[in-house]
Structure 1
């Protein structure tokens, strides 16, 4: 892994390929096939990719070096779509402003998913709004987790994706290519080789909107898509808040203290969500350079917080070891287990700090 604060020396002539898709589709695992650097790989459906990170990669026996970009999906368990959009767009517009255009984008989708609905459709719609209708020949639509589904069922689902315009059909008609990725090197190499051999650079809709047309984020197609989804949820939460007020009056009347506590908890969560979206909407009223400045300030704050936490954890570990050393018979099993847990916590925070430090700066 590069030294902290040392960013990859990417140039306009380099091959840069982004991976997009929902949480858990295998983006980080795909990158790990081609890089010697450590890539955080999630073991659950919680996102382990909070910020865009870039990795130096190569194919076996191929002298060409390329860079793979890990991006967060629009289904993060901890962050809103507005936050994720700002993170992704900030990187896209910064790279474009620095004359670095993508060689292509690989959009991954789990073939084991029964249907493309709800969150998956929202993620796909956002992707389409980001890339636009031009340069769809640089888009790879790849299905993953074939080993976790019956082959005939997988083929049926793949066919539905490819023939339904609302899913992938419309993109395929305009040049996008479909690949199967079985999590192994061979299928991954086929995808990467296609993009490298194609050897073209692409500009996407969000880049033109924000850099060339000088739009604010909320004026872009992707920003409008997020706003539409946020507005639907806001109306839903406001209706629920009205119902909660009625339920609270009834709980107070009947002196149902347990219900009062639960209603108050839900009310606070809903109101906090609405306030958070209002703040994010304000941040979305920014043009490219303002967006970059805001995101960099947030990254620096995040890095400082992670560094502080890492320092505190190391101090705690040092005290544990000193305490263990003072014991007559050395470290017992309980103390060793405690130290091991602390070391694992330090490892996770160090990884988090390094990931925040290695965020893409072109």
Structure 2
């Protein structure tokens, strides 16, 4: 399976047929219903630093925080402001990688699973999933392999036709080098070939036009439930029993096994050092310090493994509560804004109705104020109503659950 990218002719066709607006716009109450019912949701996944957030900001005009160091910036699921593409409202979902510098893989899986399960329980599915990969990486190392393995377990086999693997950062490599890496990624069973053979596509991203082309490919898809959504909601599985949960527990079990082997070796070394304590006190202290660090790491990994199910249950319940709170707050905000608008309109109309003795200039002034009031209201509504998208509500609720 070879990778594909939009040619210049394809891009020209896309530009000529695509109606694209990165600025959210909603013009009527009906648009809110359309946004909720016809919202196209696409999740963006991949390792830390693969360009997920920049890709999303480029398309949506959002200002989600972008990392410029080795520290992760996307530490929870984020939903960008909805925008229009081909007349459809698009919501892009930014997810943290399973190599986050501030949160464990258990926390990351809990967040992603909570978000996806809540959406699916409310009848919402993803039209597509994008997996970002740096073409600038010399090789697909252990971290990238682990991220992709978790990605496959989250998605499952039946949704792969809605998956696009996006190679990014082409400007950091020469063309021949990049194309050679791309060919290897698409033809090697250790990398992306298995998912490409089952319907996924691999596309290049090197700017706004290519990003639009990627979305254009996805938005016509029939939305499908991911494997983890079916497992958690339809099959009622515990998160530890899902494919992703089992994969994570296997990884945690391997970490514990390695740590135990390292601890055994370290203890043997400490016994040997004990015999020469007086001669090498500094070495003994270093070994004791290393032993404490290793024990703490083992305890952390074991704790992560034990609390996966309980954390998911607790945080999912909290998420549902927060979603209800967000929905209620949004309803009250909408009602208050519209009531205030109606009151101001009524006051001006009453003045106009009772101004039989007023001069024409006074009547014109009232009419102008009525027009200005309606315009200001429409402009304000165009800014806050798109945030009522369903996936945006889940994102804001998730922020409050994780205190972000």
> What's the TM-score, normalizing by structure 2?
0.67
Q: CA deviation at 1:291?
A: 4.8
Measured in 1, the distance between the counterparts of 2:193 and 2:267 equals: 46
Q: CA deviation at 1:132?
A: 0.5
Distance 1:284 1:296, change over 3 A: farther
* CA deviation profile, 1:89-147 (whole Å, cap 9, x unmatched): 11111111121111111101001111223111111111111101002111011100101
Q: Matched residue of 2:398: which SS?
A: coil
Q: CA deviation at 1:149?
A: 0.6
Measured in 2, the distance between the counterparts of 1:263 and 1:87 equals: 37
Q: CA deviation at 1:181?
A: 0.3
Distance 1:178 1:124, change over 3 A: same
Instruction: Answer yes or no: is 1:201 the counterpart of 2:226.
Output: no
Match of 1:114 in 2: 138
Measured in 2, the distance between the counterparts of 1:294 and 1:270 equals: 34
Distance 1:210 1:149, change over 3 A: same
Measured in 1, the distance between the counterparts of 2:137 and 2:314 equals: 38
Alignment of 1:253-332 (within 5 A): 253-255=276-278, 256-286=280-310, 289-293=313-317
Q: Matched residue of 2:48: which SS?
A: coil
Measured in 2, the distance between the counterparts of 1:142 and 1:187 equals: 10
Q: What's the C-alpha RMSD, in Å, of the aligned pairs?
A: 2.7
Instruction: Answer yes or no: is 1:36 the counterpart of 2:61.
Output: yes
Which stretches in structure 1 are left out of the alignment for 5+ residues? 1-7, 298-355
Partner of residue 210 from structure 2, selected from 187, 195, 210: 187
Q: CA deviation at 1:232?
A: 1.3
Match of 1:17 in 2: 42
> What's the TM-score, normalizing by structure 1?
0.74
Instruction: Answer yes or no: is 1:71 the counterpart of 2:110.
Output: no
* CA deviation profile, 1:149-168 (whole Å, cap 9, x unmatched): 11111111111111223322
Instruction: Answer yes or no: is 1:242 the counterpart of 2:267.
Output: no
Measured in 2, the distance between the counterparts of 1:25 and 1:225 equals: 22
Higher-Rg member (1/2)? 2
Q: CA deviation at 1:34?
A: 2.1
Q: Matched residue of 1:246: which SS?
A: helix
Partner of residue 106 from structure 2, selected from 82, 85, 95: 82
Q: CA deviation at 1:33?
A: 0.5
Partner of residue 47 from structure 1, selected from 56, 72, 91: 72
Distance 1:295 1:279, change over 3 A: farther
Measured in 2, the distance between the counterparts of 1:254 and 1:133 equals: 58
Q: CA deviation at 1:295?
A: 7.0
Measured in 2, the distance between the counterparts of 1:16 and 1:40 equals: 20
Distance 1:145 1:59, change over 3 A: farther
Residues matched between the structures, number: 295
* CA deviation profile, 1:13-32 (whole Å, cap 9, x unmatched): 31111100001110010011
Is residue 34–residue 59 contact of structure 1 (8 Å, CA) maintained in 2?
A: no
Distance 1:295 1:235, change over 3 A: farther
Instruction: Answer yes or no: is 1:217 the counterpart of 2:261.
Output: no
* CA deviation profile, 1:60-89 (whole Å, cap 9, x unmatched): 7x4432111110111122332222211211
Deviates more, 1:171-180 or 1:136-145: 171-180
Match of 2:335 in 1: none
Q: CA deviation at 1:273?
A: 1.9
Deviates more, 1:66-75 or 1:260-269: 260-269
